[in-house]
Chains A and B, each alone.
Chain A
C-alpha cells in the first residue's frame, strides 16, 4: 500500500495510479466496515463465551483451561471503535476524491459522499446487518454544531450587515411563503388524488411543507465553496440558510403542537408569531451572552495559552446547548456567539491559538460534513421507504416552483429598498442555490409516528428532494454559473491603498450623512464602532491592544506577510523603493562616485549563495491548507519572525557599509557618505549638523506589537531626516520630530532590504563604523 503511494507520484500513468489508489482505498474501507459489522457479531459471541468460561472457572475450580494468550473482547471498545471507524472511513473517502482531480472538478464532493454512503449502506445490507440510520440526536447535538460554528465564526461581517435586510426578508418571508405554498398545494393535491393520499391531513402537509422548504446551510456551504461565487450572492444565500432556522424551528413546533391539539385558533396563530420573535431574538441573546463571556475569559488567558482554543469551543457549544434547552434557535445562538466573540478573542489570543482555533474548526466542520453526507447515503438504504409517485413528483415540482416564485416576488419588493439592486442573474442563482439537506431529513425523522402515520412516505419524499437538489442542482450550478458569467469571488486581499480608502470612505460617507442630516447606515455603524472602542473593548481586550485602530493592525499584518513573502521567495528585487518616492533636493552634484553596479551585484551574489541553507529550512515550513480559506493569512511563530526581522535589519545595515566604497572613517567622509546615500547635500547649512552625525543607529525600541514596526521606523527615520535637512516648508512643520534619524538605514540600503537576506555571518566583518551598543547586543544575541 505504501509502495503504491510512493509510486503514485510518477508522472507517467499517474492518473491510472491514482485511480488504482482510489479503488484500493475504497476497498480497504469497505472491508474495514464489513469487518466491523462481522466483528460485532463474533465479538458478542466471544464476549459471552469468555464470560461463561470465567464463570465455570469460578465454580468448578479444577477444570484447567489453557491460559488464553490471545482473546477478543470487542464489546469493551465497541462504541468508540465504531465511531472512529466511521470517521476514518469518511476521511479516507475524502482523501480519495481529491486524488482524482477530474472527478472533483465535475461533481461536488457532497454528491460523491452520498454515493459512497449508498454503496456502504448497500454493502452492509448485503452482509445481512442493519445499516445504522442517522440518529437525529447525534446529528443535532454532535454533527451540526461544528459546521455552524465554523460558518458563524468566520462569517464576513461587513457584507452580512450591509445586506441584512435582504437576508432577513429571504429567510423569514421567503421560508414562510415556501412552507405555506408547498403545504397547502400539497394538501390540495392529496385531497384531489384521494386513495391513500387522502388521509394526509392539512397539518401533516403543512409540517411537511415547513420542513422541506428550509434551505440547508450544510448543503449550501458544501456546494458554494466549490463554485467560488461573488461575495454578495454567497452571503445572501448562506445568510438565508442560517437565519431560516428560527422560522423552521417555530413552524415545526407550532404544527406539532397543533397536531396534538387538533384545532387551531387565531390566538394560537398570534402566539406563534410571538414565539417566532422569542425564538430568534432569544437565541441571539443567549449567543451574545456566551460570546461576551468567552471574550472576557480570553482576556485572562495570557498565562495559559494552551487552553485558549478550548474556551472558544466550549463557550460556543454551551451557547448552542443552552438555546436548545429552551427550544430557542440553536443555530442563531451559535452564530451570534461566534460573531460577538471573534474580534475580542482574536485580539487577545496568541497567534498559535488563533491558528489552532481556525484549523480545529475547519477540521471538525469538514469531518462533520463528510459524515453527514455519508450517513445520508447509508440512511437512504436503511430507512423504511414507501414510494408514492404522485406525492414525490409533486413535492419536487412544488419546491422548485415555490422557490422561484418566492425569490422573484421578494426581489421585486427588496429592490425598491436596495441601492445596489439584484439583477436577474443574481435572482436565478439565489433561487437555484436553495438546496435542501440533512437538517430536513433529521427533522422528518423526529416526527412522532402516531401522529404522522405516513411518516415513511414523508421520509422517502424528503430524501428524494435532498438527492435531487444536491445532485442535480449541485452538479449543474457550476456550469450554469460559468455560462451566465456570474461574477466570481475576488481572489486578492485588499492592498494597503484599498484598505486606506475603504476606511476613508467610511468616514467620508458618515460625514456626508451628518451634513445631510440623515441618520443612515453609516451613521449608526460609526456610532456602534465608537461605542465599541470606548467601552466594550476596554473590558474585553487585554492590554493596550484595545486602542489599536483597524488600519494599524491591518498594516502590521501586511508587513508580516510581506516579510514572510520576502523570505520565502528569497527577496526578489523590488521594482520601486523608498528613494524613488522621496522628494529629492534638486542639486545633483555627487561628492562620491556611486559604486559601480557590478561590484554591488557581486557582493549580493556572494551573500545570496550563503543564504541557501536558511532558505531550505524555511521552505519546509510551508503549510498545506485544508480549505481554500479566503480569510486566511499567513502567520508564523512570532519569535521566529522577530529573529528574522532582526536579521534583515542587520543585513541592511551591513549592506550599507558594503555598498559604499570604504573610505577611511574620517568624520567628513562619514558625513559625506551619509549625505550621498541620503542624497542630501551639504547645501543645507542651517539644519543641525550634530543630528546628522548621530550614529545611534537604532532609536529607542518602542514597544509595538509587530516587530516590523522597528523596520518601518528605520525607514521612517531616514525619511524624517530628509525632511529635516531638506528644509522644506513643511506645511505641518513636522521636521522637528523628536527621534532623530537613524542614519544607518538610509535609502540605498532600504533598497537592499528588499534584496536578499544576508546572513549574520557577515557581521564577523567589522564594519567600517563602530557599531554601537545596541547592534552589539543584537549581534551577541544572534551569534549565540
Chain B
C-alpha cells in the first residue's frame, strides 16, 4: 500500500469509502491501478482502456469500455457519455461489482439486485430510451459470439429473436397479432433474470493487497 496517503487524499478516500462501500485499502489499490492505467494523469480515456492487453481478447470489450464512460452508471442523474473519467467515476463503476455482505436483509438484497441489473440493462440499452429493442439485443448476442469466428450472423439473430420472444411471452402473456412489443423494459428485464441470482454472481474479488505490481 505504501505511504500514498496525504491528508486531503485520505479524506477523499473516506468519502469514497462511504459512498461506494469499499474499504480504504481497496480504494488505495484501485487508485494505484487507476494511476497505472492513466499513466499518472488525473483522468482516464477510452484509449487507455484499449491498451489493456488482457482485454483485447474479450468479445464484449467495447461494451465494457462504454460502460465506464456511461453517465448513467455514475449514480448521478443524467445520460449520455463522457470522454474521460476521473477516479471517482472509475470507482463508482467498480462498486457495482462488490459482493453482497453476509448479513443483508431481503430488501437489501433485492435493492442490490436491482442496482446490478440496472447496470447490465444500461449496457444493453445503448440509446438510452429505457427499453432494449430487438436490434440492441441482437447486437448483444452478436458481440457475444463475435470471437467464435465461423458462425454467421444468422444464428446470432435467431438466438436473439428467440430470446426476445421468450421475454415477450413471459412479460406480456398473450398478444394479439397486431400488437407490438416495443422492447424489454427494466421491469421485464428484472423478471426474466430473476432465476439467476445476480447479487451472488455478479461480483469480483477486490483484494486488500496491492497487486498492481504483478500485472500490466
- 9-residue interface stretch from B3-11, B13-21, B72-80, B155-163: B155-163
CB distance A575 to B151 under 8 Å? no
CB distance B207 to A518 under 8 Å? yes
CB distance B202 to A576 under 8 Å? no
Select which of A420, A503, A517, A739 is within 8 A of B99 by beta carbon.
Answer: A420
Contacts of A581 in B (CB 8 A): 134, 161, 164-165, 168, 180-181
Docked CA distance A558–B161 (Å): 13
Contacts of A555 in B (CB 8 A): 155, 158-159, 162
Q: Which of A561-600 contact B (CB under 8 A)?
A: 574-584
Q: How many A-B residue pairs have CB under 8 A?
A: 201
CB distance B205 to A504 under 8 Å? no
Docked CA distance A179–B212 (Å): 42
Select which of B33, B141, B177 is within 8 A of A517 by beta carbon.
Answer: B33
Contacts of B201 in A (CB 8 A): 502, 505
Docked CA distance A419–B98 (Å): 10
Docked CA distance A420–B140 (Å): 29
Docked CA distance A514–B211 (Å): 12
Given A508-B64, A580-B179 in contact, is the A712-B94 Cβ separation under 8 Å? no
Contacts of B192 in A (CB 8 A): 495, 497-498
Q: Which of A481-513 contact B (CB under 8 A)?
A: 490, 492, 494-498, 500-505, 507-513
Contacts of B149 in A (CB 8 A): 547
CB distance B163 to A497 under 8 Å? yes
Residue of B57, B58, B59, B177 ringed by the most chain A CB atoms within 10 A: B177
CB distance B193 to A574 under 8 Å? no
Docked CA distance A547–B49 (Å): 29
Q: Does B186 contact A (CB under 8 A)?
A: no
Docked CA distance A739–B153 (Å): 11
A512 to chain B, nearest CB (A): 6
Q: Does B173 contact A (CB under 8 A)?
A: yes
A722 to chain B, nearest CB (A): 10
Given A518-B211, A716-B157 in contact, is the A496-B162 Cβ separation under 8 Å? yes
CB distance A712 to B162 under 8 Å? yes
Contacts of A580 in B (CB 8 A): 168, 172, 175, 177, 179-181
Q: Does B60 contact A (CB under 8 A)?
A: yes
Closest to A533 in B: B148
Docked CA distance A582–B179 (Å): 10
A435 to chain B, nearest CB (A): 28
CB distance B30 to A516 under 8 Å? yes
- 9-residue interface stretch from A163-171, A304-312, A335-343, A520-528: A520-528
Contacts of B193 in A (CB 8 A): 497-498, 501
Given A514-B54, A551-B159 in contact, is the A498-B196 Cβ separation under 8 Å? yes
Residue of A421, A575, A580, A720 ringed by the most chain B CB atoms within 10 A: A580
Contacts of A549 in B (CB 8 A): 145, 148, 151
Q: Does A59 contact B (CB under 8 A)?
A: no
Select which of A500, A508, A578 is within 8 A of B159 by beta carbon.
Answer: A500
CB distance B168 to A515 under 8 Å? no
Contacts of A678 in B (CB 8 A): none
CB distance B212 to A517 under 8 Å? yes
Select which of A559, A575, A712, A713 is within 8 A of B174 by beta carbon.
Answer: A575
Q: Does A782 contact B (CB under 8 A)?
A: no
Given A514-B54, A584-B180 in contact, is the A720-B166 Cβ separation under 8 Å? no
Docked CA distance A748–B176 (Å): 12
Q: Does A195 contact B (CB under 8 A)?
A: no
Residue of A511, A730, A748 ringed by the most chain B CB atoms within 10 A: A511
Contacts of A508 in B (CB 8 A): 60, 64, 120, 123, 202
CB distance B102 to A518 under 8 Å? no
Given A509-B202, A737-B153 in contact, is the A712-B158 Cβ separation under 8 Å? yes
CB distance B157 to A719 under 8 Å? yes
Closest to B169 in A: A576
CB distance A734 to B144 under 8 Å? no
Number of interface residues of B (CB under 8 A): 73
Docked CA distance A720–B59 (Å): 24
B162 to chain A, nearest CB (A): 6
Docked CA distance A655–B70 (Å): 48
B58 to chain A, nearest CB (A): 5
Q: Does A370 contact B (CB under 8 A)?
A: no
Q: Does A640 contact B (CB under 8 A)?
A: no
Contact string, B120-150, partner A, CB cutoff 8 A, digits 1/0? 1001000000000111000111001100111
CB distance B133 to A509 under 8 Å? no
Select which of B37, B94, B100, B200 is within 8 A of A512 by beta carbon.
Answer: B94
Closest to A523 in B: B54
Contacts of A552 in B (CB 8 A): 145, 148, 151, 155, 159
Q: Does A751 contact B (CB under 8 A)?
A: yes
Q: Does B87 contact A (CB under 8 A)?
A: no
Contacts of A522 in B (CB 8 A): 204
CB distance B155 to A502 under 8 Å? no
Q: Does B55 contact A (CB under 8 A)?
A: yes
Q: Which of B165-216 contact A (CB under 8 A)?
A: 165-169, 172-175, 177, 179-181, 192-193, 195-196, 200-207, 211-212, 214-215
Docked CA distance A102–B93 (Å): 55
Select which of A507, A517, A544, A583 is within 8 A of B133 by beta carbon.
Answer: A583
Q: Does B61 contact A (CB under 8 A)?
A: yes
Docked CA distance A521–B180 (Å): 42
Given A511-B55, A518-B211, A712-B154 in contact, is the A578-B165 Cβ separation under 8 Å? yes
Q: Does B36 contact A (CB under 8 A)?
A: yes
Contact string, B38-70, partner A, CB cutoff 8 A, digits 1/0? 000000000001001011011111001000100
Docked CA distance A555–B37 (Å): 38
Q: Does A731 contact B (CB under 8 A)?
A: yes
The 19 sampled A-B contact pairs (Cβ below 8 Å) are A496-B162, A497-B192, A498-B192, A504-B140, A505-B201, A511-B60, A514-B52, A516-B33, A522-B204, A548-B151, A575-B174, A576-B165, A576-B168, A581-B164, A712-B155, A716-B158, A737-B153, A739-B154, A748-B177
- Given contact pairs A498-B195, A511-B58, A730-B135, enumerate 18 new A-B contacts (beta carbons under 8 Å): A419-B200, A495-B166, A495-B195, A501-B193, A504-B140, A508-B60, A508-B64, A512-B204, A514-B52, A515-B33, A517-B212, A547-B149, A575-B169, A576-B169, A581-B164, A582-B134, A713-B158, A720-B157
The 8 closest A-B pairs by CB, nearest first: A712-B158, A514-B54, A575-B174, A576-B168, A511-B64, A576-B169, A549-B148, A419-B99
